[in-house]
Each structure stands twice: as structure tokens, then as C-alpha cells.
Structure 1
Amino acid sequence: MLRNAPTYELFTVLIIVSVIFIAIAKSLLPKRFNELVSVLGHSNYLKIYSREQKFFDKFDALLFVNFILSAAIFSFLWLHYKSEMLVPSIDELFKLVFAIGSFILIKVLVERLLGSLFDIDKLIDQYLFQKISYKNFLGLLLLPINAILIFSYRPPITVIYIIVILLMLINILGLISTIKTHLNSIKHDYFYFILYLCALEIAPYIILYKLFFSF
């Protein structure tokens, strides 16, 4: 009896949806898209577009959808890396998309609420814009990585962990960039800033990490 070959239609659909969202974002604002791609080497993107930020930005929203889909696919691949047949599950992928999207959106809403309570809305808005920008950049990186892992190359688990570490480093670079930008505001209240880091930047990811592996 022939062994059933794994089917990747669901992965293919999600990747095509991500590509469509990226293409729409690039067609709407091609200059901004090109500057976002080089955000690691140049801070012009963050300086220019943080001033033009709106509560709902179509460009960021389109790329954010790609980030959530790409992060969910990569999380699924990581969780099931040892599986001989990597057959995507609609239910599990939906849960990952919902969990990642809800986690980030709730975190953003809590940070905006704190900004309003402490009357630092402008500072929080700029901070959130920088974080979302780096997440959107990560989404652009994850799309080709996912495609290679699914359709082309099955690397050793060490490579997967290296990819995870690199993604974390990029996220940390984004945080460092934000700290440097607002250093004058932070240095007057180091205690509150450290408290903020522990409560809203470190603790939630530790909880997410534990939930991720429990899931």
C-alpha cells in the first residue's frame, strides 16, 4: 500500500494570502515599503513615519496580517518539526493565528491605556509604532523562511533554533532602538522604566513561551 504524501494546500493558501497583503501594501506606498525593508540599517523610516502615524494605518495593518500568518506558520513548523508527515491542521493553525493576534493586540491596548493614564500618549504611540514596524519587518523575513522550510529544505533542528535566536535578536534591536530614541525621557525614571520592562515586555513573553509549549 502506497504511503500518503503530505499535502500543503493550507500552507500554500496562507502564504499566497500573505503575499497578496504584502503586494497591496507595496503598491499603496512603494517608497515607504522600501524604507521599511532597510529599517535595520537605517533609522529614517522610524523618524519619518512615526510623525505621520494614525490610529489605524492601512500600510501597517496589511503587513501586520502577514506577520501574524507567517508567525503562526513558523510556530506550527517549530511545534511539529519532529513529525514525519507535516500535515497542517486548520484547527491548530487557526488557534495559533488567534493566539498570536490576540496577544499582540491586547498588549497594544494595555500599553495605550497606560499611556492615557500617565498622560504620555505621544511617547507610547511612537514606541508602539517602532515595535509594530519591527514586527512587520520580521513578517517579511518569515515569509520566505516558511516557504523554504515547507517546500524545499528540511534543516536540522539546530538551524531552526538559530532562526528563532536571530528573530529574537532583531526584536531586541528594535527595543534598543526605541530606548535610544527616548533615552532622555527614560533616564529620569529608570525605576518605572524597569518596572515597565518586567511587567509588559518580559513577563508576557515568558507566559506566552510556557503556553506555547503546553499547547
Structure 2
Amino acid sequence: MRIVKYLFIVSFYFFIGTSGAQNTANPFELRASGSETVANKNQPKPIAEQEIDHSNPFEIIHVPANYALRDTLLVKKPIPITSKKVKNQNFLFVSISLLLLFLTILVVMNRGLLANIYRAIFSDTYLKVVYRFQNSGHTLSYGLFYLFFFLNAGLFLTLLLKQFKFNYFASDITLFFVCVGGIALTYFIKHSVLRIIGLIFPVQKEISYYSFTIIAFNIFLGIALLPINSLISFSSDQVANLCLYLGVIFFLLLYCIRQLRGMFLAANYLTFQKFHFFIYLCTIEIAPILILTKIIYSNSGNSL
């Protein structure tokens, strides 16, 4: 009995020691602070644990926001790409259509004029024949073709200025008419100065022939710019940029050929009037191109 009593006492003290050891504080145990405990209490219960009133059809279930899941499943709408070229499709379509209609009417009125202009560009002798034929009563047809050149060159200059981000005018239609008016005014001044020179100096015949040479080359250039403008207006950006550069190169090529024709025409006067010819070349031929280039670069944010 005494042995049983001793075993009972030892078991009792052992039980008390183990329960006390479990209640003692663990120095490595991390306990939550009071603010975290309050935050945990304020967290919404899961949807399954919320008390939902199914009898109320307007009951709103508050679902906790899962930002990681939201960012993963959120599908962003694509931002529409709008460019100047897309916005101006109606204006370009109407312009190209009217120019095609205008050219069709001109060709019906005078079918042989385009063939004569094409041959005159590559033959100075044939150009003189066309010049004499033009003086016999076809001034109106050449004037209408010259107007076609102003419209087509104005459209090409508009597209070129838009490429250089020329935003001085809010409307592209206004920019188009300004370009057409600027080109028309430039050539009006040019022909007027040539006429005044022909009246002052005894070179009226040569000046008249050179003025007609300018008209013939510009008519050919205006017709050639129509397909270039069409490709620029309705093709991709890469093709449009390529056509812009090709149009500029084509204009410079025709300009150089025209200047060579003028120099051959004035070969008899270059021997005695070199200074006067140089003044004319710089003032009438080179200065307008340099001024126009300066205006384009200045308004596009660049500087020369």
C-alpha cells in the first residue's frame, strides 16, 4: 500500500509539472500586436460564413477585394491609334477624286496636248514646235493644265508639310489652299518678272520661250504628281514616306533639266552678261526654294 501511495504522489507532481511547463511563455514565440488583432477582427468573413438573407432579392454580398487576382484577370482595352493620315482620309479621297475628274475633262478637251508635252520634255526642238503651236490659239488648254499643276503641287506640298509636322494651320483644307495659293503666287511673280525683263532688255523672244518652257515642265510635273499623291494618301506609312522622297527627287530632277534648258537658251548672252544672269538665277530661281525650305524647317521645330 505504501508503494502505491508513493507512486500516486509522484504521478500527481509529475502531472502538475508538465501542465505548468505548457503554460509558461516561450521566449521564441511571436505574438500578434494589439493593432493586428483588431485588424484581424475587422476582416470580413468569407462568403460561406456570412449570413445571407436569400429572401431579399436586393441583398448585396460584399466580396473582399483580391488585388492580385484583379491585376491578373484585368483585360485592358486597346487604345485606338489615330493619326493625321487616318483623320484626313475623307479630305484626301475627295481631293484625289476631283483631280482625276479634272484631268479626265482636260484630256477629253485636248487629247494631243499631253503627247506633245511628253515629247517636248525630252526634245528641245520639239518644244519649240509646241511653243509655236501654242501661240496659234491653244492658250486656254495650257492655262487649265497649268491650274491642274497648281492643285496637284499644292496637295503634294500639303502632304510634305504634314510629314514634317507643320501644324501652323488647324485645318488641313486651309493648309491645302494656302499651299496652292503660295505656289500660284510664286509662279505668277516669276512669270511677271520674266515679262518685265523681256520688256526692258532686247530678249523678249527668248524670255517668252523660257516662260513657256517653265509651263510645259510644270504641266508634266503636275500630271506625274497625281499617282504619287494617290500612293501617299492611301498606302501604308512606309510606302507613303518612300513616295514623298521620290516626289521630291523627281521635282529636283525636272528642275535641273529645266535650268539646263534655260542656260542653253541664254548661252549667247552668258558671254557678255554673266553678272546679270547670276543675279537673276539667285533672285528668281534659287531664293524662293531656300525661303520655302527655311519656313518648313522653322515651323517643324528644326533650324537651319
| Amino acid in the other structure paired with 1:108 | H
> Per the alignment, do residues 201 and 7 of structure 1 end up closer, same or farther by CA in structure 2, a change over 3 Å counting?
closer
| CA RMSD across the alignment | 2.7
CA distance in 2, matches of 1:44, 1:14: 36
Contact 1:72 / 1:93 at 8 angstroms: preserved in 2?
A: yes
- What is the CA deviation profile of residues 15-47 of structure 1, one whole-angstrom value per residue up to 9, with x for unaligned ones? 233223322332233222112134443335411
1:119 is paired with a residue whose SS is: coil
- How far apart, in 1, do the equivalents of 2:214 and 2:99 lie? 20
Q: Secondary structure at the match of 2:273?
A: helix
Unaligned runs of 5+ in 1: none
Instruction: Trace 1:50-89 onto structure 2 (pairs within 5 A).
Output: 50-54=131-135, 57-81=139-163, 89=172
2:41 aligned partner: none
SS at match of 1:143: helix
Choose which of 103, 108, 114 in structure 2 pairs with 1:33: 114
Deviation at 1:145, TM superposition (A): 0.2
Range that drifts further, 204-213 or 115-124: 204-213
Instruction: Looking at secondary structure, tell me which structure has more helix per residue.
Output: 1
Q: Which has the higher contact order (CA 8 A, sep 6+)?
A: 1
**Are residues 1:184 and 2:184 paired?**
no
CA distance in 2, matches of 1:144, 1:110: 32
Shift of 1:88: 6.7
Question: 2:152, 2:222 within 8 Å by CA — same for their partners in 1?
Answer: yes
Q: CA deviation at 1:189?
A: 2.3
Counterpart of 2:225? Answer: 142
- Which residue of the partner structure matches residue 111 of structure 1? 194
Query: For the structure 1 residues 41 and 200, does the alpha-carbon distance in structure 2 shift closer, same or farther, using more than 3 Å as the test?
Result: same
Contact 2:232-2:244 at 8 Å conserved across structures: no
Aligned positions, number: 212
Segments of structure 2 that go 5 or more residues without pairing to the other structure are 1-76, 300-304
- 2:213 corresponds to which of 130, 133, 139: 130
TM-score when normalising by structure 2: 0.62
1-structure distance, mates of 2:163, 2:203: 43
Q: Confirm or deny: 8 A CA contact 1:74 1:142 kept in the other structure.
A: yes
Mean CA deviation greater in 172-181 or 50-59: 50-59
Structure number with larger C-alpha Rg: 2
Does the Cα contact within 8 Å between 1:8 and 1:88 map onto a contact in 2?
A: no
Tell me the alpha carbon deviations over residues 150-186 of structure 1, each in whole angstroms, 9 at most, x when there is no partner: 0124336465334312211111101212322442344
Q: 1:134-173 to 2 correspondence within 5 Å?
A: 134-155=217-238, 157=241, 160-173=244-257
Asked whether the 8 Å contact 1:67–1:136 carries over to 2, the reply is yes
- Partners in 2 of 1:43 and 1:88 — Cα distance? 42
Tell me, what secondary structure is at the counterpart of 1:155?
Answer: helix
User: In percent, how many aligned pairs have the same letter?
Assistant: 28
Letter in 2 for 1:171: Y
Instruction: State whether residues 74 and 146 of structure 1, in contact with CA within 8 Å, keep that contact through their aligned partners in structure 2.
Output: yes
User: 1:32-77: CA deviations, max 9, x gaps?
Assistant: 2112134443335411121234498222211112211111111121
